[in-house]
A and B are shown apart, each in its own frame.
Chain A
Amino acid sequence: DIQVTQSPSSLSASVGDRVTITCRASQSISAYLNWYQQKPGKAPKILIYAASTLQSGVPSRFSGSGSGTDFTLTISSLQPEDFATYFCQQSYNTPFLTFGGGTKVEIK
């Protein structure tokens, strides 16, 4: 199994801050890494797929980078609506898909 480990598990930030979340895979997964945002009581929503491709309709303040084992989700200027939990998900080991443990972004 390929494990994906996110860090940090939670963070506190202010509106306007630059926020970075990392995801590390237990082995190389090329660029088969996706990022989701989940708000309380809602389903996750895809933000970025293939490590760096922004899903249609997602604000450009979100960006993704990385390949191999280390990946980053960056929010360039945190907005009030961005306070949520973020998950990464690998699909290199298709069909066995796994998620990271999540990063909760809270208001400082």
Chain B
Amino acid sequence: QVQLQESGPGLVKPSETLSLSCSVSNGSVSSGSYYWTWIRQSPGKGLEWIGYIYYSGSTNYNPSLKSRVTISLDVSKNQFSLKLRSVTAADTAVYFCARVIINGWLRFFDPWGQGTLVTVSS
């Protein structure tokens, strides 16, 4: 079955850019049947959807993060990536990547990667 795995630095300095990648195995990010998404979880804010990307490259972002977020696709590596600019301590969280199942307006996340903790600190 499809598996996802996050990778990237666990420590980022304030004002810098957080960069994470998600590698997909046993499935293709080129599939038109799914979106690919990033979600984060922090003690203060629970689960927060960050944004998603379609195989065509089209994206949708959480309005609260839109000005700082870019999600991109690398079909050759079968992975997708997250960049979050100008980070602060409030961006400290566990970051998950996931596949989005689409059925009309229905969207749910399955499966998820294991998650990676990113701490913003100098």
**Chain A interface residues (CB < 8 Å from chain B):** 30, 32, 34, 36, 42-46, 49-50, 55, 87, 89, 91-92, 94-102
Contact = CB atoms under 8 A, between A and B. Distances in A.
Contacts of B106: 32, 49-50, 91
A97 B64 CA distance: 12
Interface majority SS on B: helix, strand, loop or mixed? strand
A38 B68 CA distance: 28
25 contacts: A30-B105, A32-B105, A32-B107, A34-B108, A43-B112, A43-B114, A45-B110, A45-B112, A46-B110, A49-B108, A50-B103, A50-B106, A87-B46, A89-B109, A91-B105, A92-B105, A95-B52, A95-B107, A96-B49, A96-B62, A96-B63, A99-B47, A99-B48, A99-B49, A102-B46
Given A43-B113, A43-B115, A96-B62, A91 B108 contact: yes
A41 to B, nearest CB: 9
A30 B96 CA distance: 27
A77 to B, nearest CB: 25
B4 to A, nearest CB: 9
Contacts of B47: 44, 87, 89, 99, 102
B105 A94 contact: yes
A94 B107 CA distance: 8
Given A97-B49, A99-B47, A44 B60 contact: no
Contacts of A36: 109
A50 B48 CA distance: 20
Contacts of A101: 46
Contacts of B60: 95-96
A87 B41 CA distance: 12
Nearest to B6: A43
10 closest residue pairs by CB, A with B: A43-B112, A95-B60, A91-B107, A99-B47, A34-B108, A97-B49, A46-B110, A49-B108, A101-B46, A94-B105
